[in-house]
């Protein structure tokens, strides 16, 4: 008995907030047990696009009905008249409910007008409330925004002091991936807002029908992350990729002038309730074999070192090693024609010459073009170090082992973006933007600022240049611009047949890469910018399940360019 008495005293007086190894708060759990609560807003920060449109939640007036209404008499007819619905619809809604519910019509939450909201609240009916309520909707940018999960231990690890003083609950959701994870210290809930009432053991109201509103006395939360993406464009890109049949890959679009992210889509998408399934990988920040897109690096180095002449001809009937015939016979081509038609032989010959002069030259030029570094926005924010807009971003690699120097086969594979070459689509987009701007290197920004609930700014994310100042010259950038334009402009260019009639002239480079040990599977890239003469957009599309004859990347590219052209003209008309 003494043991039981001491144990009970310990539980009731000492361990009330942290009983068992799971650190269960008995006080908090007992309140939950005797409370019926309806959460109006979780208190966690949210994300909007550049125009202020929500990307993953909606927040609008809704009708909340409490379950005790079925046991009493209330002016149901007045509410039904305001909503223009039948009495039976309202009664059916509460009849089978054990908890507070949102009134629905046709299995969809009824959105109230401001007039309906005012009229219902003016009736002052206990258990009938018209309030702004948060609703999680389809996250149209899940790979960028990321997901939230619950983990008591992790909450305590990240926010020990706040948990101790009670400003943050161990039950708070925390960021698991994407910007939800990066910005978690600014987003984590400081307390939710709710309607609640106490019940007895039979779930009957303890104090009549007294429903109370509770919310943290904090005018600053929840916060709002203003991203740089465009919601309408994001939706269109997603649909365009699916219409083209692309199921594994994605697209990234950035502003050619500001380097702000406009859209990022990775397919397949994933269920946010299962954040670690196969679709959770963000392909746009994952390093893959780029194929002939890497020829841009070889071209930049060859231009700088004066290895080419406009009159030089390359025998593009030879294979990339120069020891046999190429199945795709192109004849003798100039350097520009070789780039436009993606002749492997030309670039493997140039790469071998370059590496003989400087074994690290391809790695150095990949660095100059921003291909091997992380290119997403990274910086210190208050006491937080290296806050990243793309926390899952991988670095690129262009590895040439010592034993590969002098091995024409190894250098040839590297020259055409195979062997050990790995780059992310985001880095490729950044490279094209660098070229389009004449060599100026910038970080890719995905958010412009974080705002408090009262509209004041918590954090601004300034535009930043890449730390590595080593870059290509304006002359080299100009020559690369000419080469990229020829891929679409020249009649035999690899993208001419698909993109020649585009409303915006396009400059870019295609690439097909073998992948896997058997090298039977391929991926296809198209990286470019437009309009070619006055760059406004940079877009990279990657199909990681490419099949010959079905170039899904170019089909989607054509669709999205046409959409942006119409969008720009519509905007000009409004202005």
Least confident of 112-126, 178-192, 228-242, 516-530: 516-530
Q: What's the average model confidence in pLDDT over 61-71?
A: 85
Element (H, E) at 464: none
What residue spans define the domains of the chain? 2-227, 231-272+284-574
Dihedrals φ, ψ of 384, to 5°? -90, 125
* The pLDDT value given to residue 207: 45
Find out whether 143 and 282 touch, Cβ atoms under 8 Å: yes
* The pLDDT value given to residue 273: 67
CA 1 – CA 146 distance, rounded (Å): 53
The burial of 323, by beta-carbon neighbours within 10 Å (0-12 exposed, 13-18 middle, 19 or more buried), is given as: exposed
Classify residue 217 by its DSSP letter: S
Over residues 264-285, the pLDDT tens digits come to 999 998 776 666 677 889 999 9
Considering only residues 365 and 68, tell me which one the structure prediction assigns the higher pLDDT: 365
231-272+284-574 — its CATH code?
A: 3.40.710.10
Least confident of 143-152, 253-262, 293-302: 143-152
* The pLDDT value given to residue 317: 95
The burial of 317, by beta-carbon neighbours within 10 Å (0-12 exposed, 13-18 middle, 19 or more buried), is given as: middle
Q: Is 292 a catalytic residue?
A: yes
pTM of the full predicted structure? 0.87
- From 182, 292, 338, 342, active-site residue: 292
118: left (phi over 0), alpha (psi -120 to 50) or beta: alpha
DSSP string, 38-81: EEEE----EEE-TTS-BSSEEEEEEEEE-GGGGGS---HHHHHH
* The pLDDT value given to residue 434: 96
Please check the confidence at residue 449 and state whether its pLDDT lies above 90.
yes
User: Residue 199 — pLDDT band, cuts 50, 70, 90?
Assistant: low
Please check the confidence at residue 148 and state whether its pLDDT lies above 50.
yes
* The pLDDT value given to residue 506: 97
Find out whether 252 and 429 touch, Cβ atoms under 8 Å: yes
Over residues 153-191, the pLDDT tens digits come to 888 888 888 887 777 888 888 888 999 999 999 998 887
Mean of per-residue pLDDT scores for the chain: 87
* The pLDDT value given to residue 155: 85
Q: How far is CA 47 from CA 223, 346, 381, in A?
A: 9, 48, 18
């Amino acid at each position: 008995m003494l043991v039981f008495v001491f144990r009970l005293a310990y539980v009731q007086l000492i361990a009330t907030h942290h009983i068992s190894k799971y650190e269960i708060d008995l006080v908090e759990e007992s309140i939950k047990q005797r409370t019926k609560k309806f959460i109006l807003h979780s208190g966690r920060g949210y994300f909007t696009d550049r125009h202020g449109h929500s990307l993953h939640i909606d927040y609008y007036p809704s009708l909340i009905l409490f379950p005790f209404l079925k046991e009493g008499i209330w002016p149901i007819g007045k509410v039904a008249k305001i909503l223009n619905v039948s009495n039976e619809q309202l009664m059916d809604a509460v009849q089978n409910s054990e908890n507070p519910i949102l009134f629905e019509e046709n299995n969809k939450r009824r959105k109230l007008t401001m007039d309906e909201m005012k009229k219902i609240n003016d009736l002052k009916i206990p258990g009938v409330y018209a309030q702004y309520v948060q609703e999680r909707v389809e996250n149209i940018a899940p790979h960028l925004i990321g997901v939230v999960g619950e983990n008591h231990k992790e909450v305590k690890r990240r926010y020990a002091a706040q948990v101790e003083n009670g400003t943050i609950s161990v039950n708070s959701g925390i960021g698991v991936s994407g910007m939800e994870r990066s910005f978690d210290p600014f987003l984590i809930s400081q307390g939710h807002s709710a309607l609640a009432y106490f019940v007895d053991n039979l779930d009957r109201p303890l104090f009549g029908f007294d429903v109370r509103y509770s919310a943290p006395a904090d005018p600053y939360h929840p916060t709002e992350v203003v991203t740089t993406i465009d919601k309408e464009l994001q939706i269109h890109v997603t649909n365009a990729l699916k219409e083209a049949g692309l199921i594994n890959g994605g697209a990234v679009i950035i502003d050619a002038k500001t380097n702000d992210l406009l859209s990022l889509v990775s397919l397949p998408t994933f269920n946010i309730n299962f954040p670690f399934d196969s679709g959770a990988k963000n392909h746009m920040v994952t390093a893959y074999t780029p194929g002939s897109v890497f020829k841009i690096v070889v071209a930049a180095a060859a231009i700088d070192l004066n290895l080419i002449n406009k009159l030089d001809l390359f025998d593009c009937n030879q294979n990339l090693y120069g020891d046999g015939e190429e199945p795709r016979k192109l004849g003798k081509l100039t350097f520009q024609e070789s780039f436009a038609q993606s002749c492997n032989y030309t670039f493997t010959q140039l790469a071998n010459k370059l590496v003989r002069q400087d074994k690290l030259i391809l790695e150095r030029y990949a660095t100059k073009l921003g291909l091997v570094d992380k290119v997403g926005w990274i910086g210190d924010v208050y006491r937080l170090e290296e806050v990243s807009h793309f926390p899952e971003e991988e670095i690129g690699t262009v590895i040439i082992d010592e034993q590969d120097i002098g091995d024409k086969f190894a250098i040839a594979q590297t020259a055409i973006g195979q062997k050990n070459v790995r780059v992310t689509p985001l880095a490729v987009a950044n490279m094209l933007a660098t070229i389009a701007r004449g060599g100026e290197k910038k970080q890719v920004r995905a958010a412009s600022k974080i705002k408090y609930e009262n509209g004041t700014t918590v954090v601004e994310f300034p535009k930043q240049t890449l730390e590595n100042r080593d870059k290509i010259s304006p002359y080299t950038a100009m020559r690369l611009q000419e080469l990229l334009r020829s891929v679409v402009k020249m009649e035999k260019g690899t993208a001419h047949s698909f993109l020649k009639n585009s409303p915006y002239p396009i400059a870019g480079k295609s690439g097909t890469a073998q992948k896997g040990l058997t090298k039977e599977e391929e991926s296809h890239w198209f990286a470019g910018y437009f309009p070619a003469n006055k760059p406004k957009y940079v877009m990279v599309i990657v199909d990681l399940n490419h099949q010959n004859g079905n170039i899904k990347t170019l089909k989607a590219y054509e669709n999205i360019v046409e959409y942006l052209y119409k969008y720009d003209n519509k905007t000009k008309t409004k202005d």
